[in-house]
């Protein structure tokens, strides 16, 4: 891999920030420690004596009343808040970008080749402002990706030994009020090209538990028995009639060992793990896949991803293949791309639109009538994909010329591809 550097995974939430990183040269993945066995970076940024500060340094400055400090950055950025400080108005989203910039200085010894953010839940607006925060910190938007916790759990699992996700894998999240259960599973599709497979993470259960107040932050041994019993019943309901290969526990609510009887159910015939850096590591693994195009890793899908892909027939390394210019599992609003291609002597080109929901493909044809006449492979075209919405892809072909031999002309042709969108298609795969 050229220009080896760091792939960074951020876990951002209302409580703090956590950073995992993959060293492409050493092939090592680690989580940044801010203290012994402590990975949580306070989501704070501040300014004192013409210098910026973040995290624990900003936290100490706030306690000592040195300069000014803004806390709760992620929540404020979500709300698009404006903060007035000493007569200057700061956008919370700009301050979040400054926080990201300051944290990336930790990795200044090498290039940062990719940044992935994971957050508890996500929509188009959050994806946009996180990519802008990465760009503000000096990372090109094409090397920034944002996802929710479900997707980061998926990527974490896909880089674990296959036997741990051969069937279904369960994730239990616990905080001070509730327990949530998620399941990683392979999706049933009729798509069989090149043995490609697809996976998803589904929230399968949730329980509000007043009993958790007795176990966090200080353990009440007597009252904890009730929480353990409720959790055991909750687990049995989640596992009912499922073949679960592995179980993962995360969240501050699991820090006290209050669930010995539940552990017996969790570990019965399967491997169980506990830790609080799963999401940042999953984000890091996601960046690794996007950076290196790791083969044989299933494609993650959810209700926001495209269930169709658009392919052109291309010759790559001497082999004719149907190459996806819009891939399964992408977000339509992030899939504006361009390619340069050399064209054979042809008057039209076929486009295949393949559907995961139906397992079928449709053919569209683009006419190149009016295109300049040149020898084979001296016709260079720019192919561009751009979406108007989740159902409408605008595919354009324009003449790029051919070096000093043939200047570019004004030839351009456009094709509108109508897709099925995401609504209702994803549910048919489960």
Give the CATH number of the domain where residue 393 resides: 2.60.34
State the number of CA atoms in the 13 A half-sphere of 267 facing the CB.
Answer: 9
Residues 6+ apart with CB under 8 A from 31: 18, 19, 20, 21, 39, 277, 280, 281
Domain assignment present for 292: no
Q: Which of 83, 114, 148 is the last residue of a domain?
A: 148
pLDDT of residue 333: 87
- Cα torsion at 83, 88, 90, 94 (round to 10°)? -160
Q: Is the pLDDT of residue 424 over 60?
A: no
pLDDT digits (tens, 9 = 90+) for 233-282: 999 999 998 999 999 999 988 988 899 999 999 999 999 999 989 999 99
Which contiguous run of DSSP H or E holds residue 63? helix 55-63
pLDDT of residue 1: 46
Q: State the pLDDT confidence band at 36, using cuts at 50, 70 and 90.
A: low
Domain assignment present for 296: no
The reply to whether 137 and 161 lie within a common domain is no
pLDDT of residue 319: 83
Give the least confident one: 129-133, 226-230, 407-411, 421-425. 421-425
Q: Could you give the CA distance from residue 327 to residue 335 in angstroms, rounded to a whole number?
A: 9
- Eight-state DSSP code of residue 15: S
Domain assignment present for 108: yes
The reply to whether 341 and 423 lie within a common domain is yes
The reply to whether 143 and 220 lie within a common domain is no
Residue 225, both tokens = 């028995």
Mean pLDDT of 35-55: 90
- Cα torsion at 142, 144, 147, 151 (round to 10°)? 80
Q: State the pLDDT confidence band at 102, using cuts at 50, 70 and 90.
A: very high
3-state secondary structure of 79: coil
Q: Across the chain, what does the average pLDDT equal?
A: 89
The reply to whether 143 and 14 lie within a common domain is yes
Paired with 387 in beta bridges are 393
Q: Which of 240, 263, 278 is the last residue of a domain?
A: 278
Q: The domain spanning residue 195 has which CATH number?
A: 3.30.420.40
State the number of CA atoms in the 13 A half-sphere of 121 facing the CB.
Answer: 3
Q: State the pLDDT confidence band at 422, using cuts at 50, 70 and 90.
A: low
Q: Which domain holds residue 335?
A: 305-428
The reply to whether 319 and 252 lie within a common domain is no
The reply to whether 179 and 221 lie within a common domain is yes
pLDDT of residue 172: 97
The reply to whether 143 and 158 lie within a common domain is no
Domain assignment present for 284: no
As for how many domains the chain has, the answer is: 3
The reply to whether 246 and 311 lie within a common domain is no
> In terms of pLDDT, which residue wins out, 125 or 1?
125
Q: State the pLDDT confidence band at 58, using cuts at 50, 70 and 90.
A: very high
Give the least confident one: 153-162, 211-220, 230-239, 325-334. 211-220
The number of beta carbons lying within 10 Å of the beta carbon of residue 221 is: 10
Domain assignment present for 286: no
What is the layout of strands, in order, in the sheet containing 198-208? 271-274, 244-250, 168-174, 178-186, 198-208, 299-300
The reply to whether 164 and 144 lie within a common domain is no
Give the least confident one: 14-23, 122-131, 166-175, 364-373. 364-373
Give the least confident one: 58-67, 68-77, 290-299. 290-299
3-state secondary structure of 378: coil
Q: State the pLDDT confidence band at 125, using cuts at 50, 70 and 90.
A: very high
Domain assignment present for 289: no
Q: State the pLDDT confidence band at 379, using cuts at 50, 70 and 90.
A: confident
Mean pLDDT of 147-166: 95
pLDDT of residue 65: 93
Q: Could you give the CA distance from residue 47 to residue 49 in angstroms, rounded to a whole number?
A: 7
The reply to whether 248 and 368 lie within a common domain is no
Q: How many residues does the chain have?
A: 430
Domain assignment present for 312: yes
Domain assignment present for 382: yes
Q: Is the pLDDT of residue 314 over 90?
A: no
Provide the sign of the torsion angle of the four alpha carbons 255, 261, 262, 265, taken in this order: positive
Mean pLDDT of 6-17: 95
The reply to whether 97 and 63 lie within a common domain is yes
Mean pLDDT of 56-70: 95
Q: Which of 127, 148, 169 is the last residue of a domain?
A: 148
Angle between helices 92-104 and 124-136 (to 10 degrees): 50
The reply to whether 166 and 94 lie within a common domain is no
Q: Is the pLDDT of residue 295 over 70?
A: no
């Amino acid at each position: 891999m050229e220009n080896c550097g760091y792939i960074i995974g951020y876990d951002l939430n209302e409580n703090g920030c956590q950073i995992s990183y993959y060293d492409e040269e050493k092939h090592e993945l680690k989580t940044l420690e801010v203290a012994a066995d402590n990975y949580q970076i306070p989501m704070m940024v501040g300014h004192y004596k013409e210098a910026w500060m973040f995290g624990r340094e900003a936290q100490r400055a706030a306690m000592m009343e040195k300069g000014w400090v803004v806390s709760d950055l992620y929540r404020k950025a979500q709300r698009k808040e404006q903060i007035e400080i000493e007569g200057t108005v700061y956008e919370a989203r700009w301050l979040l970008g400054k926080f990201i910039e300051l944290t990336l200085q930790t990795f200044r010894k090498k290039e940062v080749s990719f940044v992935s953010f994971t957050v508890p839940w996500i929509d188009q607006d959050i994806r946009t402002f996180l990519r802008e925060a990465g760009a503000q910190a000096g990372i090109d938007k094409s090397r920034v990706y944002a996802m929710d916790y479900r997707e980061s759990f998926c990527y974490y699992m896909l880089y674990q030994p296959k036997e741990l996700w051969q069937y279904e894998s369960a994730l239990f999240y616990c905080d001070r009020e509730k327990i949530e259960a998620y399941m990683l599973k392979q999706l049933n599709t009729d798509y069989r090209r090149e043995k490609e497979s697809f996976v998803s993470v589904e929230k399968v259960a949730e329980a509000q538990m007043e009993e958790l107040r007795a176990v966090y932050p200080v353990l009440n041994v007597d009252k904890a028995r009730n929480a353990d019993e409720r959790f055991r019943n909750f687990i049995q309901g989640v596992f009912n009639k499922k073949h679960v290969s592995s179980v993962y526990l995360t969240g501050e609510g699991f820090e006290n060992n209050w669930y010995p009887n539940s552990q017996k159910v969790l570990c019965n015939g399967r491997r169980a793990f506990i830790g609080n850096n799963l999401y940042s590591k999953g984000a890091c693994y996601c960046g690794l896949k996007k950076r290196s195009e790791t083969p044989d890793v299933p494609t993650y899908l959810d209700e926001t991803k495209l269930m169709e892909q658009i392919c052109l027939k291309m010759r790559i390394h001497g082999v004719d293949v149907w190459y996806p210019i819009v891939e399964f599992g992408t977000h339509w609003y992030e899939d504006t791309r361009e390619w340069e291609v050399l064209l054979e002597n042809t008057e039209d080109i076929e486009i295949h639109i393949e559907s995961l929901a139906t397992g079928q493909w449709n053919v569209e044809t683009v006419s190149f009538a009016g295109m300049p006449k040149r020898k084979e492979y001296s016709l260079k075209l720019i192919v561009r994909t751009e979406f108007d919405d989740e159902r409408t892809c605008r595919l354009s072909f324009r003449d790029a010329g051919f070096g000093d031999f043939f200047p570019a002309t004004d030839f351009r042709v456009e094709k509108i591809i109508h897709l099925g969108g995401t609504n209702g298609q994803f549910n048919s795969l489960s």
